[in-house]
Amino acid sequence: MNDRSHLHPLFLGPYGENNDLFEKLLLEFLRDHVYWRRNFHPEDPPAIPLLAMNSPGYRDFVAHMSRELHALSAALKRSVPFSSPRYIGHMTSDLLLPALVAQIMTLPYNPNNVVDEAAPVTLDMEISVGLQLARMLGYATDESRPDCAFGHLTSGGTVANYEALNVQRALRHYPLAVAAAARNRDVGIRSRQGDVRALDAWTLLNFSNAETIALHAAVLEAASKMPEREGRAWLDAVESERVEHLGLVEFARRHPEWREPVVLLPATAHYSWQKAMKLTGLGTAQFRKVPERGMRMDSAALDALLSELAAERQPVLAIVAVLGTTEFGTIDPIHEIIACRERWQQRGLHAPVHIDAAWGGYLAALFRESDGSFADHDSVRREFRHFPSKRVHASLEAVRHADSITVDPHKLGFVPFGAGAIVFRDQRMLDLVAQDADYVFDPERDAPDYRAKFRQLGRYILEGSKSGAAAAGVYVAQRVVPPHREGLGRIIRETIRAAEHFFDHMPVIARELEGCARLSVPVEPDSNLVCVAINPAGNRSLRAANRFAREVFRAMRVDPAVPVQTREFFGSYTTLSRRGMGEEEFLRVLETLGISEVDADGIFILRHTLMNPWLLDNTGDVNYIERYGEFLARTIREVAERQGR
């Protein structure tokens, strides 16, 4: 067995094994906080009199508060035991001790990462976290480079995805606004394609992000060469033509050749994309679903779709690729998607690529060496039984070509909730969504350097007040367990090994169940999620199989009416939909289960997120995956018996 002792100090542990360490750290740092308060002008008299605690009102309040806190503590015992290796449901697990302690330690200081004036310490940490993620993903991270990457934390992957769409919307429409203002005021603005006044709408809508960034610089430069009042008027004219000012309806009226740009994504995309399209006003009608093969985007189908869109002169706001789908952990062929984008860019259709790697982004830590280089396939392959396929390796290598990437520290980063992130390949992409970044309008003022700029974080992002404690948690976690092969990679390696063990063990369970039920893994895993489909022996109806699988799931679901302590295991479920998978794949899965009567449009399957670090043999006597296998087999037999099969 592998030695896992390096994992021992990293987590509080399912049994609270590290509670002495945890308590010691918390006590020390909470006391430290109190001393810090006290030593800020110790000459001031106490605001709360020392004898206040003797008053009846004070004592009543404390009694009331204690009662409520005890009630909360009691209620929380009904929480889902994410830290236990018996929890293999959703994308949560035990938390990195450094993240947990850092976050708790920071809470009483209450920093607000909206601006450095409210967070002189933790905002800088957030900027560093963004750069560290950028480095893990392979982006440029030299702060002195104008095209340095920039990443920041969000409340979660959902908001990160909103932001990606918002920034792409700004970039996509800016050249049209500049051209309109330039024509109105007769200002010559050069771009790679020529003077913008002479460009048609299709060309303007297909500026690459780099070209739009250069155009923005040209607009500012033109302003700086004009007398001050004229310069301001010119910049105001550009702003007043932008879609962010006019709204989509008026923008469309002024540009009859304009069409709503579409967003291309696979059917496996997370539902936050639906919300994002509603929120940005683009509308979900602007989705174009890219067909899939085995729950991964089909790049040949993407190419065909882009060809159609180019022929219709239909602009594309973004291609969304998924790195680690929420349901199956599958990985879209990023390298092929990027290649496809490059091909069409040369033919005049620009399609930015955003990668939704909320789940799978940290898989990059398995490939990134501590010196920043990217590990070759063989050296990673040696650490596993199946992982990574050539396609997965090539996909991870190619993420650095994407325009932006969502990655959630509160998922595979093992930190507490409230920490998603988005990373942009080029920090200047954010200039077009900046809110009153006054230097932009003031040719007299030099642009601030990278850190100074983003210390005004709230001007550049969707959110306002935000938790500095969350930033401190991610920062300390990534200092102690950096996102590369020798750091976080060592934890994520365990999750993949657990998934491989699970995948290899399922046929054993399937054999044990012969004559009772058929078991199959319908989607070959790319990472650390494994799904299992079930059909009772002799059954040919999909609807009956779903009813059966649902009943099996009842034994492992979170049910407010059932005390969590009485559950043996927790899992989750999903549905393989006929529309999402395509007819051929759908029928193939049904065939492996022996189902011929297609009387439903989806297959109910069990879904397992194998991210708990203690799933495999750790102390020498328990292997939770094999235990789960026994539990699953037993549950299936019980359900079969109850249903009289």
Ligand X SMILES: *Cc1c(COP(=O)(O)O)cnc(C)c1O
Output 296-301 pairs: Cβ under 8 A, ≥24 positions apart.
296/266, 296/330, 296/331, 296/332, 296/333, 296/526, 297/266, 297/321, 297/322, 297/332, 297/333, 297/337, 299/333, 299/336, 299/337, 299/339, 299/340
Nearer to ligand X by Cβ, of 162 and 553: the residue is 162
- CB neighbourhood size of 96 (10 A): 27
420 contacts ligand X (rule: CB under 6 A): yes
CB of 271 to ligand X, least distance (A): 8
Nearer to ligand X by Cβ, of 453 and 608: the residue is 608
CB of 492 to ligand X, least distance (A): 15
Element (H, E) at 292: strand 292-293
For residues 11 and 16, what is the distance between their CA atoms, to the nearest angstrom? 9
Nearer to ligand X by Cβ, of 91 and 513: the residue is 91
Nearer to ligand X by Cβ, of 11 and 359: the residue is 359
Determine the residue type at 181.
A
Nearer to ligand X by Cβ, of 273 and 624: the residue is 273
106 contacts ligand X (rule: CB under 6 A): no
Nearer to ligand X by Cβ, of 156 and 582: the residue is 156
Nearer to ligand X by Cβ, of 310 and 358: the residue is 358
CB of 356 to ligand X, least distance (A): 5
Nearer to ligand X by Cβ, of 362 and 475: the residue is 362
| Residues in 323-382 that interact with ligand X by CB under 6 A | 326, 356, 358-359
For residues 540 and 485, what is the distance between their CA atoms, to the nearest angstrom? 47
CB of 589 to ligand X, least distance (A): 22
Q: Which of 636, 610, 341 is nearest to 502 (CA)?
A: 610
Options 59-67, 150-158, 386-394, 586-594: segment touching ligand X (CB under 6 A): 150-158
CB of 272 to ligand X, least distance (A): 5
Selected binder of ligand X within 157, 487, 489, 629 (CB under 6 A): 157
Q: How many residues belong to the site for ligand X (CB under 6 A)?
A: 13
Nearer to ligand X by Cβ, of 155 and 203: the residue is 155
Phi, psi of 484 (to 5 degrees): -145, -175
Residue 637, both tokens: 């037999």
CB of 411 to ligand X, least distance (A): 6
Q: At what angle do helices 468-480 and 122-137 cross, to 10 degrees?
A: 50
For 113, residues 6+ apart whose C-beta sits below 8 A from its C-beta are 119, 122, 123, 126, 153, 457, 466, 467, 468, 471
CB of 354 to ligand X, least distance (A): 11
Could you tell me where the beta strands, DSSP code E, fall in 415-516?
420-424
Element (H, E) at 532: strand 529-536
Q: How many CA atoms lie within 13 A of 31 on its CB side?
A: 6
CA-CA distances (angstroms) from residue 405 to 130, 161, 204, 267, 422? 11, 9, 25, 19, 6
Burial class (CB in 10 A: 0-12, 13-18, 19+), 72: exposed
470 contacts ligand X (rule: CB under 6 A): no
Write the binding mask 181 to 220 for ligand X: x where contact by CB under 6 A, - elsewhere.
----------------------------------------
For residues 474 and 152, what is the distance between their CA atoms, to the nearest angstrom? 11
408 contacts ligand X (rule: CB under 6 A): yes
Phi, psi of 164 (to 5 degrees): -60, -45
Options 151-159, 368-376, 447-455, 628-636: segment touching ligand X (CB under 6 A): 151-159
527 contacts ligand X (rule: CB under 6 A): no
Element (H, E) at 240: helix 228-240
Nearer to ligand X by Cβ, of 202 and 417: the residue is 417
Render the burial of 161-197: b for 16+ CB within 10 Å, e for the rest.
bbbbbbbbbbbbbbbbbbbbbbeeeebebebebeebb
Q: Nearest to ligand X by Cβ — which residue?
A: 157
- CB neighbourhood size of 145 (10 A): 12
CB of 322 to ligand X, least distance (A): 5
Phi, psi of 38 (to 5 degrees): -65, -35
Nearer to ligand X by Cβ, of 156 and 613: the residue is 156
Nearer to ligand X by Cβ, of 358 and 549: the residue is 358
Options 117-125, 156-164, 205-213, 462-470: segment touching ligand X (CB under 6 A): 156-164
Selected binder of ligand X within 85, 151, 156, 333 (CB under 6 A): 156
Asked if 576 contacts 519 with a C-beta cutoff of 8 angstroms, the reply is no
CB of 506 to ligand X, least distance (A): 23
For residues 323 and 296, what is the distance between their CA atoms, to the nearest angstrom? 9
CB of 358 to ligand X, least distance (A): 4
Nearer to ligand X by Cβ, of 322 and 639: the residue is 322
Write the binding mask 262 to 301 for ligand X: x where contact by CB under 6 A, - elsewhere.
--------x-x-----------------------------
Give the N- to C-terminal CA distance of the chain in Å, as an integer: 40
Selected binder of ligand X within 122, 158, 456, 623 (CB under 6 A): 158
Phi, psi of 513 (to 5 degrees): -90, 5
CB of 525 to ligand X, least distance (A): 15
For residues 237 and 179, what is the distance between their CA atoms, to the nearest angstrom? 11
Options 42-50, 155-163, 293-301, 515-523: segment touching ligand X (CB under 6 A): 155-163
Binding site for ligand X (CB under 6 A): 156-158, 161, 270, 272, 322, 326, 356, 358-359, 408, 420
